[in-house]
Amino acid sequence: MEDRHRAGTALVRRPGPRLADGIVTHIDRRPVDAALAARQHAAYVGSLRAAGWRIREVAPADAHPDAVFVEDAVVVCGDLAVLGRSGEARRRGEVPGAERAVRDLGLRVERIKEPGTLDGGDVLRVGDTVYVGRGARTNEEGICQLAHLLGGRRVVPVDTSGCLHLKSALSALPDGSLIGLPDLVDTSVLPCLSVVPEPAGAHVVVIGPEHVLMSASAPRTAARLAADGLRVTSVDISEFEALEGCVSCLSVLVP
């Protein structure tokens, strides 16, 4: 059943023909079923649409296997879109399509410039605070540039270890509370972090008032959140998880 709530626009990019060649850093590589990935992506997009989000497809970047993880290319905050500059040089060609999409939405566009690096998966906004993961994909210069572009918002660097991005390790619930995996982040700079019972439980996307989207591979976390009164939509993204992806990686939500 479709939500009455009209949320905004969700930017997505379909998986390309080279998906199985995506970069794997912290996990062992396994085969990826491209046909299954396409079906899973369609179901993911369908869940966003059912929650009231208008879907806008970002132009393909088929030369780039990881382009489906569109979140890394751009950070949207209010009417500002900040184009990323990944610490993984092989991913920088994913940005032009995302730039066209946010310009078409009428957003102001800025960009992270050399020597700064920043992936959108390292950026977690919670109210007026922006937590930014500092690691292999995002460096101190990139964080400083982002802080300057975001003006008065409080930007908090968070060191990460053993994970691809900050949002590989934690995410925020609708009330702003944080959940995740404390062993992968510097918890000393976080107000509080509720530990999840399984790794995939660290990843949720707020898609409506008291409504979250999460991976089907985190059933215990889903049950806990549902018991706390949240509406939980679970989607199977196993083929993207094989490439270190999570639910937030596959879209950019523009309220």
Q: What are phi and psi of 249, to 5 degrees?
A: -65, -25
| Beta-carbon contacts of residue 46 (< 8 Å; ≥ 6 apart) | none
Q: Are 58 and 101 in contact (CB under 8 A)?
A: yes
| Strand, helix or coil for residue 124 | strand
3-class state of residue 48 by DSSP: helix
Helix (H) or strand (E) holding 56: strand 53-57
Active-site hit among 203, 211, 246, 249: 249
Stated length of the chain: 255
Q: Is 163 among the residues known to form the active site?
A: no
Distance in angstroms (rounded) separating the CA atoms of residues 207 and 197: 22
CA distance readout (Å), 165 to 55, 187, 245, 251: 25, 15, 10, 15
Question: Which structure tokens are listed for 132?
Answer: 């930014």
The stretches of the chain forming alpha helices (DSSP H) are 34-50, 95-104, 140-149, 219-227, 238-241
Which one of the listed residues 41, 64, 165, 203 is annotated catalytic? 165
The Cα 129–Cα 11 span in angstroms is: 23
Establish whether 203 is a catalytic residue.
Answer: no
Cα 122 from Cα 190, distance rounded (Å): 15
Active site residues: 165, 249
